[in-house]
Every structure is written in structure tokens, then in C-alpha cells.
Homo-oligomer: A and B are copies of this chain.
Amino acid sequence: MTELMIHLDANSKKPLYEQIYDYIRLHIADGKISFGEKLPSTRFLSKYLQISRSTVELAYSQLLSEGYIESKPSRGYYASDISGLYFGKKQKQEVFMPPKSRPFLVDFSPEENEYAYFPYNIWRKISKEILSANDPTLFTAGPSAGEWELRSAICNYLYHARGVNVNTEQIVVGAGNEYLLLLLAQILGRQKKAAMENPTYLRAYQTLLNMNYDIHLLNTDENGICMDELYRLHPDIVYTMPSHQFPMGTVMPMKLRMELLHWSAEQKGRYIIEDDHDSEFRYKGKPIPSLQSYDVNDTVIYLGTFSKSISPAIRVSYMALPRQLLKSYDTKCSFYASTVPKEQQRALTIFLEQGYFARYLNKMRKIYKGKHDLILSLLKQESWVDTIYGDYAGMHLLVKLHTGQTTDVIIEEAKKKGVRVYGLAEYMIPGLPHTKETKQTLLLGYGGLSEAEMKMGIACIRNIVLE
């Protein structure tokens, strides 16, 4: 008992009970109080230290709950065996800085958008109004699939803009396409066999791969998927981008669409994932209706996003599930909380319902068309350009080089001059062999570029190629 030389400091900011707790804890950890040793009773210790018994009891109960001591009924408190106790030594705090993306003078990234025309003021005004509304439900958990009003507004938009023929309860809202694919993989079930176009959207490929899907890559021709191959591989799921394939820019012809729908209807359990990522932007004729709009057999899963049409910061995507999958969604995924904050869901609902979205889309379609027409006319004047394809939709096109040069040299040389151009090869599934043609094809995004930037970028490529 005399070993226990606790000196309490009544003036310390540390409460008395904590001083006792610390003293005993450290002595047990040090081995100065050894395993099995009896501790003084709370009555004794309070008398000895001349403090209230409840203070000692509080310290003991803390030690008890952390397992440093044990209580044996009508016998008292004993030090526990904490052999191997690790003491938290604070790691040396190394200085790490966040990786900074290297800025380029001109960046032909297909993921760059034009943000300047987004009606920030309206978005801010709507957001502020939502925050000011003093609605306490803004801070409570909402439905898993998203707020009903938003889902209803999306359903309405999809019907009118893309012919998507579903009801509100089939719409699921989530934080980005990849998140929705993660949900889908759970809804569709374990280790399905999926077919994807080669090349395809790498993020979708990586996501399905992460979900342990058995992925088969389909060879494509100028129309897209070869149906023969599909019948040979008999996958459960086909992931495709009929409106404007990424990265190839192909528009799937009606005949192939019908064949695909036939294929999925032929056998129960077959589904088509239609990623309609940049369908809003088409610069010739009117938009091609979605594949889903022709599906009478409830087999198309329609996937869309506001990240392209509004801004990457509005990380809201949506999917329209076939009715036959609603039960599986309910069982397997409806327990997840929504990944989109209510504020953002409500702002987006107003943005859609009050026509701001439609107006913004119309404006952007004109702006992107202008950019598209400009880059196309600029490229057509270039002697090093052989063929241009994937044009008239989206925000990127493909340029086959006339010279037979491969893109990797051009990319490296351009980087040195502050210009980032992309090669089609960068968008191929890693590890697979490329065709010669792939290596000779540039992928140029123009969504974020001004006329001056396009001209500067193209001049840079010209100088490298023709040097």
C-alpha cells in the first residue's frame, strides 16, 4: 500500500479522478503495479488522499471499463494482466503535401467542361433559400433512393428528353455513376459475367472489376458491338454507351439496338446497362432516343449523370431500374443512406422544376456546338490530320494522324511545351495489345477550351508532327 504514492494536485486543470486514474494506469503499464496485485479499496484511498469516495470510484470505474483493473465480488480490485500493452507513441509527423495537378497552358482533356456559363448566381440563390427556409427536415435522414420530388423531376426530364419510359419509383439517385455501378453490382448479384465494348469507359471497367465481375471485352466495328461475339460469350450483362460511345464516339445504329434488345429479352436474367453519359450534347439533327425507350421487356438499366451536364462538382447521378429489379434493390440496397445531401437534392429539384436546367442545357448545347464546329474546321485545315471521327456529339473527337507517327512522342513533346494532348491508347484497357491505328489516333477534348487555346494547342501539335 505504501507503494502507492499518489500526489494529487488540487490546483491542476486535470480533475482529481483523472490524476488517480493516470497514476494507476501508468503504474500498471510500467509494471510497478503487477498483474494480480490488489489495489486499495475506494474507502481506504479516499480517506488516505482526503478526497470524496465518489472521486476515487470514478477513477476506478474508468480503469475497470478500460480493463486495467478487475473487480472480484466482495474481495476488491486487482490489477489486470495487460501484458503486451502498446503505448501510443505518436508517429513522427512527416510533412506530406497534397499532390498538386500540374497545370497546362492548354489541356485537351475530354473531362474538362466549360464552367463559365453555369448560372452560379441562381444556384447560390436557390441554395441559400433552402438554407434559409428553416426547415428542420433538411437535417434529418432522407430516403435511400433519393428525395421523391427529385426522383420525380428526373423521371419527367428523362421521359421528355430521352424517351425513358419509367415511373418515379424506378429512379435511384446517388453520388456519381461509379457509386451507382457499385449498387448495381450488388443488386444484380454475385460475380456476374459482363460484356463491355473494347475500348470502354475505364472507370466503369475498373468499378465492375473491383466488384469481382467476370469481364469480357467485345471487339467493335464502326457500328459498335459484334452480336456474334455476344452470342458466343453469353454474358449476363452488357454495359454499353449507345448514344456516344466513349472513347470511340460511335453512335449505335438502330438495327444493332434492336438486336441487343432481342438478345436481352431472349433469356431471363440478361440485362443491358445503358450509360447515357453525354447524350445531352448532340450537334446534328435531334437527339437520338435512349435504348431504354425501345425496351418493352424491362431489361435495360439506364444510367445518367448531372456531372457532365451541370458540373463535376454536382456529383449527382441517377439510374432507372427495370421493374423486375426493384425487389432486389429493396432487399440488398435500400438500407444504405442516400449519398447525396438533402440540400443538394433540393437545389437540384428546383433547378429542374423551374426550367433552369433546360435553359442551361440549351445554352450549353449551342456553346459546345460552337466549340465543336470550330475545332472541326481548324483540324480540317491541318495536313497531318487523316480522319476525324466521333464528332457531332459529346465533348471530344478522335483524330487519326496522316503521318503514321505514333501519338506517344507527340504527347511527350507537347507536355514539354505546356500542352496536354491525349492518345486513344491512354483510354484502352491497360495490359491489352493496341492496334497500330489506336497508337496513331489522338483523342482531343474541347469542352473547356477557348478559340485561342484550340489554335495554340493545334499549332503545337503541328509543329511537333511536321518538324
Contact = CB atoms under 8 A, between A and B. Distances in A.
A178 B337 contact: yes
A432 interface: no
Contacts of A259: 84
Interface in A264-318: 284-286, 288-289, 293-296, 307, 311-315
Contact of A254 (B61, B66, B256, B294): B66
Given A165-B91, A210-B332, A131 B124 contact: yes
A258 interface: yes
A179 interface: yes
A128 interface: yes
Describe A's contact surface by its main secondary structure. loop
Contact of A165 (B90, B179, B333): B90
Interface in A326-371: 332-333, 335-344
Nearest to A141: B312
A329 B93 CA distance: 21
A88 B167 CA distance: 14
A188 to B, nearest CB: 11
A89 B163 CA distance: 10
A398 interface: no
Given A67-B256, A332-B210, A88 B286 contact: no
A65 B285 contact: yes
A315 B338 contact: yes
Interface of A: 17-18, 21, 58-59, 61-62, 65-68, 80-91, 93-94, 96, 98, 111, 115, 118, 120, 124, 127-128, 131-132, 134, 136, 138-143, 148, 159, 163, 165-169, 175-176, 178-179, 182, 186, 190-191, 202-203, 206-207, 210-212, 223, 251-259, 261-262, 284-286, 288-289, 293-296, 307, 311-315, 332-333, 335-344, 392
